[in-house]
Structure 1
Amino acid sequence: MTDVLRAHAEQQYAGELAALAATDDRPKPPNWRLSPWAVATYVLGGETGDGTPVSPKYLGSRRLVEVAIATLATDRALLLLGVPGTAKTWLSEHLAAAISGDSTQLVQGTSGTPEEAIRYGWNYARLLAEGPSPKALVASPVLRAMETGGIARIEELTRIPSDVQDALITVLSEKTLPIPELDSEVQARAGFNVIATANDRDRGVNDLSAALKRRFNVVVLPLPDDAEAEVEIVRLRVEQLGRSLRLPAGAEHADEIRRVVTVFRELRDGVTTDGRTRIKSPSGTLSTAEAISVVTNGIALATHFGDGVVRADDVAAGLHGAVVKDPVQDRIVWQEYLETVVRERKPWADLYRACRELA
């Protein structure tokens, strides 16, 4: 898989999953590849029974991850809720990879997602030639997961129209998907479940019905607790992305990572780290995922147009683009932050100069 830009979790971490499975002697729910304890070890990092190291995939509350895993071992579906950039998609992919060995049964929610994406569709050439038949039916990712006893993933559930969302109700409550055209049904095999994600910025877009909400256990993923935790998350993801993009990642980037995270946290919280200065927040979320993007872009600039060491000039454009989403309101917020905070920090003189040149 060396020529693949982004391998699926079960491909990228196949060695760790195999090592965990080889030494996992704890009880497993039906059709699970690993026990819940081993799934938690895979997600949070640790060691296998024979001492093989397992890298952390998610840095956050262990209890939240345990609740999410335990939910998937019951008849309740799991809804990961949080602001953009809190690793909802990332966590759902790794949970599916560890539990069923397949994270690809995915429905991407949009305002145009049709009911067929959750239930099934038809190969119309066969349908016209043969009439309704099992061979003419095109299974959705949810239906395939039901047939194999795997995990189906639904991204951005609240972006999907409400009438399409409700197609999940029978699936989640009865574990059955009727196919009236064939006078048949598909009953889910043991191990089947659904992980959905939702962005709490999308509340009011297509809110879940009360009937659908009752069929989900909600786990809210928070932003990192402190700056050190967020710096570590950014560092780990930048290293992972760097390997796939053939970009260098090392300790020489640490200062810029910390600086980007500090800028994001201060603008997000509306106050400087020392608590002395109140500042305005921009309209965007300034998520950890965006911080990762800013640093990765800076490394690409330094690698291809510099000496390989990330400096203020390399991250300034990314910071400006991440903060200034609204060209009027956010530009004012960013300029005020530069003048009242960045300018006053003597070690940040290079960042102030680089950002002012762009502004």
Structure 2
Amino acid sequence: MTASKTSVGTGAEVLRPHAEDAFADELRALAQADDRPRPAGWLLSPWAVSTYLLGGLLPDGTTVITPKYVGPRRIVEVAVTTLATDRALLLLGVPGTAKTWVSEHLAAAVSGDSTLLVQGTAGTPEEAIRYGWNYARLLAHGPSREALVPSPVMRAMSEGMTARVEELTRIPADVQDSLITILSEKSLPVPELGQEVQAVRGFNLIATANDRDRGVNDLSGALRRRFNTVVLPLPATPEAEVDIVSRRVGQIGRSLDLPPAPEGLEEIRRVVTVFRELRDGVSADGRTRIKTPSGTLSTAEAISVVTGGLALAAHFGDGVLRPADVAAGILGAVVRDPASDRVVWQEYLETVVRERDGWQDFYRACREVSV
């Protein structure tokens, strides 16, 4: 089963292909090698979906599946298994824990289409989740199926696909609750037409939420019960985080024709070390307590800092990532509150970075942009 997608463009290579397009070869190879049972409407078996996300070697030994998510295997297995049941999936975590990334790749592997997406904001209307109307047709001919504009969720229900709702807790509570009937009854009433849309087998929904948004628009108990919640943690070790940053920077860099990330692996390790120490409130050796800034300093922000540094190195340097290329990006990520965060950053530079062997170039570069 596949869904039709319409893209508007000039025919040139897009800046960021959807997951199902960027990794079409891997998905095709997995589908051909996949001899395990597949839930109704799924393009791959749960085993193959997990392999697609976590990476691995196909049984024939000829095709390598690249990891899309670096983290505990059991988390991915639970998420995939949830989608094979009648419960929706809620991916919860602090900013930068790859919730959106995992959501997109899950939808791509399960349904072959990751674009049935509702982006949650404070202004998201109920129509974005249920349906809207083509008002020209509505005024001319009255309520009809032709005048109805289906939401991504309605389309997923009628086609047996996976819908995605990003930043669920950013959506107003009364709009959130429009999901309750959809998730419990697997139907969407259209009272204007005296009809309903019933979900086809294969339909499910993946939502993401930032646990820093607690108290913004908390989920009602009734809605939360419709989800199985999977918490995505921050990378457990510095090595894992360096691996994640290197992979994503490499992917982004190739699309932007930037130098290969391995050329700056030492600086990637430094960025990751700085972010982890400031996040954890203690130096890597455990000897120095550190004040934490107001920002999250997530893996996603580390990826942004390194990508920006590579762009500087490519366009204003010799293509090799150096301390001066990442210093300004780190300062921008750390100092969100100019009053308090600047003090935290200066103290960290003087008590930790300045005294660290082999970090003098990095210390000077950071001092220069911090003045």
TM-score, reference length from structure 2: 0.96
TM-superposition CA deviations, 1:270-317 (whole Å, max 9, x none): 000000000100000000000000000000000000000011100000
Aligned to 2:45: 35
Match of 1:310 in 2: 321
Match of 1:221 in 2: 232
Cα pair 1:238 1:296 within 8 Å, conserved? yes
Which range moves more in the overlay, 63-72 or 1-10?
1-10
Q: Tell me what 1:202 maps to.
A: 213
Counterpart of 1:64 in structure 2 is 75
- From 106, 124, 133, the equivalent of 1:95 is 106
Confirm or deny that 1:26 pairs with 2:36. yes
CA distance in 2 between partners of 1:324 and 1:214 (Å): 38
Distance in 1 between residues matched to 2:225 and 2:176, nearest whole Å: 13
Letter in 2 for 1:16: E
> Structure 1, residues 44-92: CA drift from partner, whole Å, max 9, x if none?
0012233211100000010000000000000000000000000000000
Residue 358 of structure 1 and its aligned partner are, at CA, apart by 1.1
1:338: which partner in 2? Answer: 349
SS in structure 1 opposite 2:207?
A: strand
Spell out, residue by residue over 1:129-165, the C-alpha distance to the aligned partner (whole angstroms, 9 max, x if none).
Answer: 0100111000000000001100000000000000000
Name the SS for the 1:197 alignment partner.
Answer: strand
Counterpart-to-counterpart distance in 2, 1:259 and 1:89: 26
Cα distance in structure 1, aligned partners of 2:140 and 2:294: 54
2:5 alignment partner in structure 1: none
- Give the Cα–Cα distance (whole angstroms) in 2 for the partners of residues 88 and 254 of structure 1: 25
* Letter in structure 2 aligned against 1:22: Q
1:185 is aligned with what amino acid?
Answer: E
Provide the secondary structure at the position in 2 that maps to 1:240: helix
Shift, 1:249, TM fit: 1.2
Please tell me the residue identity of whatever aligns with 1:160: I
Q: Could you tell me how far apart the structure 2 residues matched to 1:204 and 1:350 are?
A: 43
1:295 and 1:315 in contact (8 A); partners too: yes
User: Aligned residue for 1:109?
Assistant: 120
Residue of structure 1 equivalent to 2:250: 239
* Paired position in structure 1 for 2:333: 322
Give the alignment's TM-score, normalised by structure 1: 0.99
Matches within 5 A, 1:255-266: 255-266=266-277
Q: 2:262 aligns with which of 234, 239, 251?
A: 251
- Report the residue type matching 1:216 in the other structure: F
Shift of 1:218: 0.2
For 2:240 and 2:335, locate their aligned partners in 1 and report how far apart those are by CA, in whole Å.
Answer: 25
Which structure 2 residue ranges, 5 or more long, are not aligned?
1-10
String of CA shifts for 1:239-276, please: whole Å, max 9, x gaps: 00011111111422100000000000000000000000
Distance in 2 separating the partners of 1:18 and 1:301: 37
Residue identity in the other structure for 1:86: T
Q: RMSD between aligned alpha carbons?
A: 0.8
2:165 equivalent to 1:154: yes
Equivalent residue of 2:192, what SS? helix
Runs of 5+ unmatched residues, structure 1:
none
CA shift, 1:2, in A, is 6.3
Asked if 2 retains the 8 angstrom alpha-carbon contact of 1:118 and 1:168, the reply is: yes
Structure 1: which 4+ aligned runs deviate by more than 6 Å? Answer: none
Corresponding residue SS for 1:182: coil
For residues 191-226 of structure 1, the C-alpha deviation after alignment (integer angstroms, 9 at most, x for no partner) is 100000000000000000000010000000000001
Residue 302 of structure 2, aligned match among 277, 291, 310: 291
Match of 1:143 among 141, 154, 163: 154
Partner of 2:54: 44
* Partner Cα separation in structure 1 for residue 12 and residue 357 of structure 2: 44
In 1: Cα distance, 2:142 partner to 2:234 partner: 52
- Shift of the alpha carbon at 1:345? 1.4
Q: Name 2:65's counterpart in structure 1.
A: 54
Q: Is the 8 A contact 2:41 2:201 kept in 1?
A: yes
Taking only the aligned residue pairs, the percentage that are identical comes to 75
Amino acid at match of 1:11: D
